[in-house]
Structure 1
Amino acid sequence: MNKLWLILLSFTIINYSYANEDNWWDISTKAVVNLWSTTSTTEFAEIWENITPKLNEVLELEQQAENTPNSVWLGLGTDKEDLNEEINLLLDEAVEILSVSNINNIRQAIRAEDDRIREMKQDIAKYHQAQITAPVDSTWHTTVADYDLKIKQIYELIEQSKTKITKLKTQFAQELSNKGLSISTEQLEVLLSSVVGDDITQSSIVYDNIKQISQQLMSLTEKSGEDINISQRYYGMYTVLLKILLHMQQSFIAKLDYQYLPKIANIIIEVKNINVTTGNLLRSIDEKTHRKHLLANLQAQNFTLQTAKLYKKHLVKQRYKIVQAIKKTSQDLQIAQNTYKTVR
């Protein structure tokens, strides 16, 4: 049975990618080995402690669902749909648990500094506006010079935040490198700025943690002397891990289909409508200054339209890669479930 478990595990230790055109997000088998040796023991211990109860809960609900009717009369009692909803909630919670990583912490810190810079720039705009009515000289009121000093201090704080972000990005890239994922500065910027960047990062973290847990389950099975009851439990937990992975991938697709791609489509429609309006105005206005502004608007609109189309292309490519990953995970899950049933 150990050989069977090793075969199962081999389905998990695969090249897994939501990569862009250059496949810079590919994870090699060698990288997986490096991952096991570089991930924090304390971090993994916390993940293990939090995730194993969820795996067992899902297993119990799935076994309960085997003897539960598809529907109940007048909604009295529990049916399969109720249990599936409960299982999906547990899978969502499991994804959050498996998303724990120093990489994610660094990403959150970068976002916090970005937000801080955005707020400070708003303060600068507010102070510039206040200067319009501020006195040049006053003992009791904030003067123009006072606002200049405030603005200067904020610019200094912005530079400090930018320096922090640079250091955090270096740490982020180093964390990826420690896991065998070397990316260029340009690729790092794409990952951090893309609307799907966080999803890609989370997916990779979850997948890495699932690999570690799978390895641990294999080790525990070996130590149990392959006791049939213990093996059954660990095989079952392994199938749940694959379901978590599949659930996460399907959620990623849902975000693309119902959030990201529709938003891009709306932007394209809106820009095209504005473009038509701008063209009509150009044909009806002769004044040179107005035409100059309209031509500048038209150029900006065309640039936005081109960018939106390129972004849509980028998201569609990501979607294709996720679909391929779903196919692979679904096959792995079918084999794992077949083995689990065999053990039972």
Structure 2
Amino acid sequence: MSPLLTTTAIAADDSMNFDQPEAFATLKKAVGYFDEMETLPEDTWISRDQNSARADMDDMIKEAMEALDVPQLTQLRSTYRKVEDKISETRQQISELKEKRILAPDTDVSTLTRFTPTETLREFTASTRGDYDLLIEAHKKNIVAYQGELKTLEGTLAARLKDIGIQLTPAQVQVWLSSVVGDDVLDMSVVFASIKSVAQQLAELTRDSGENLEYARRYYGMVVMLHRMIVTMQEDFITRVNDEVLPKLKGFAAEAEATTRDARSLIKQGGQRESLENNIRANALTLKTITLYRTLVSEQRDRVKQSLSQSQRELAVATNTYRTVKLSAHVADLIRHGVKTFDTLAELQVPVAISFQNSAMREEFRKLTERMQQAK
């Protein structure tokens, strides 16, 4: 029985919009805490101080990040992960069935199993090698079907990302969804697109506010919070790559190199050559994939670093300007400039494009990602 394929049909009425009311509300609160910081002492033991207000502001910025994500894209990525999990579970089931098959009588499919309607029930009735062969073949077909689902989801995600101005091919989507930092990269890309939309709306609101300086300052304050959000996301990404991802990859490489040295030493000592040479080839693929993985995350980190340098400058300028805003007309011009700046920053950190040389490398890449996730 084939797996139930429900992942191709994401509801047509699912919104491709972020939660605009929530985003505006949290940004407004963040501005309130930002303004409060000017009225508070820098550091105190008991009463509220600048550190307390800054922590509250940062909490609001994180909530705004979540509000700026696009629900349908989140759902598609979640579905992708579930299908990947089903593939891993099915592979595990195949391994268990092969183990049971070794101990089973070497006969054809039993009558009971032949007429049992579902795979689940057949696993209870299986007793011969023929029974287990039938089950293993059915599970392999399920994996093929799940892999087809992943392809469909990659195409759908690429199309939905294009809808909000993010140009990624299905192959690029596949690479990032297979990477341990893929969600971070896609999150940044999607939130950047939402930030540009918010900034454009703030520019319109400022223009429509006429000479109401209070509203104009508030809107520009929200732009400042958007700048701060970008810096936060970029700094967090760079820290994660440097402190978590690259050290783990270095450890995996050292392990593979040590295993290869041991295998070569054992061959010289008369060990089973065929088995050991297979191990050496497997480690060579692992090392090649680690190099690809390291290149991917390092190049993306460097792009984000380049963008971060400009983001930090723009945040400093925007913060200084916010404190000296005088005329709402001037504010509207500043916010329009901010929209162009966000475009530039997004372009600076467009996701790196790489491709797998073959399915074996893609599978090894996936295994490395699993190892990094389990090593947390």
- Is residue 2:226 matched to residue 1:241? yes
- SS state of the match for residue 298, structure 1? helix
**3-state SS, counterpart of residue 19 of structure 2:** helix
Identity %: 28
Q: Secondary structure at the match of 2:324?
A: helix
1:61 aligns with 2:42: no
Cα deviation 1:236-266 (Å, max 9, x = unaligned): 1111111111111111111111211111111
CA RMSD of aligned residues (A): 2.6
Q: 1:52 aligns with which of 24, 33, 42?
A: 24
Aligned with 1:208 (options 193, 199, 206): 193
Task: Give the CA deviation at 1:138.
Answer: 8.4
Secondary structure of 1:132's counterpart equals helix
Q: CA deviation at 1:310?
A: 3.3
1:228 alignment partner in structure 2: 213
Counterpart secondary structure, 2:42: coil
Query: TM-score with structure 1 length normalisation?
Result: 0.78
Q: Does 1:97 align with 2:67?
A: yes
For 1:164 and 1:244, the matched residues in 2 are separated by 34
Give the aligned partner of residue 127 of structure 2: 143
Answering whether residue 79 of structure 2 is matched by residue 109 of structure 1, we say: yes
- Which residue among 295, 320, 325 is the counterpart of 1:343? 325
Q: Which sits farther off after the overlay, 265-274 or 244-253?
A: 265-274
For residue 276 of structure 2, what is the aligned residue in structure 1?
Answer: 294
Q: Say if 2:154 and 2:171, in contact at 8 Å, map to a contact too.
A: no
Whole-Å separation in 1 of the counterparts to 2:166 and 2:65: 22
1:109 shift after superposition:
1.6
Kindly indicate whether the alpha-carbon contact (under 8 Å) linking 1:173 and 1:182 is maintained by their aligned counterparts in 2: yes
Which residue does 2:9 correspond to in 1? none
1:302 partner SS:
helix
Give the Cα–Cα distance (whole angstroms) in 2 for the partners of residues 172 and 131 of structure 1.
40
Cα distance in 1 between the residues matched to 2:284 and 2:64: 44
Number of aligned residues: 299
Q: Which residue of 2 aligns with 1:330?
A: 312
**3-state SS of paired residue (1:343):** coil
Distance 1:331 1:251 in 2: 17
Partner of 1:192: 177
In structure 2, relative to structure 1, the CA distance for the partners of 1:115 and 1:207 (3 Å cut) is: same
- Measured after TM superposition, the shift of residue 79 of structure 1 is 3.0
Quote how far apart the aligned CAs of 1:204 are: 0.8
Report the CA distance shift for 1:277/1:85 in structure 2 as closer, same or farther (over 3 A).
farther
Q: Would you say the 8 A contact 2:217–2:322 is kept in 1?
A: yes
**Cα distance change on mapping 1:127 and 1:279 into 2, 3 Å:** closer
- Which whole-Å CA distance do the structure 1 matches of 2:323 and 2:36 have between them? 15
Q: Are the aligned partners of 1:101 and 1:205 in contact in 2 as well (CA < 8 Å)?
A: no
- Does the C-alpha gap of structure 1 residues 113 and 61 become closer, same or farther in structure 2, counting only changes over 3 Å? same
Residues 85 and 181 of structure 1: CA distance in aligned 2, closer, same or farther (over 3 Å): closer
Structure with higher helix content: 1
1:79-135 CA-to-partner distances (Å, cap 9, x unmatched) read 333333333333222222212243332222222111111111212222222333446
Q: 1:226/1:114 Cα in 2 relative to 1: closer, same or farther (>3 Å)?
A: farther
Contact preservation (8 Å) 1:104, 1:202: no
Partner residue in 1 for 2:286: 304
Counterpart of 1:315, as a letter, is V
Q: Which amino acid aligns with 1:122?
A: Q
Flag structure 1 segments of 5+ consecutive residues without an equivalent. Answer: 1-39
Residues 31 and 57 in structure 2, CA contact (< 8 A), matched pair in contact too: no
Q: Is the 8 A contact 1:95 1:248 kept in 2?
A: no
Alpha-carbon distance between aligned partners in 1 of 2:31 and 2:48, rounded to the nearest angstrom: 17
Provide the C-alpha distance between the structure 2 equivalents of 1:41 and 1:281, rounded to a whole number of angstroms.
Answer: 59
**Cα distance in 2, alignment partners of residues 305 and 220 from structure 1:** 54
> Of the candidates 230, 237, 255, which is equivalent to residue 270 of structure 1?
255
Q: Residue 243 of structure 1 contacts residue 333 of structure 1 at CA under 8 Å; is this kept in 2? A: yes
Ranked by relative contact order (alpha carbons within 8 Å, sequence separation 6 or more), the top structure is: 1
- Kept in 1, the 8 Å contact 2:15–2:71? The answer is no
Return the match for 2:265 from 280, 284, 291: 280
In structure 2, relative to structure 1, the CA distance for the partners of 1:231 and 1:304 (3 Å cut) is: same
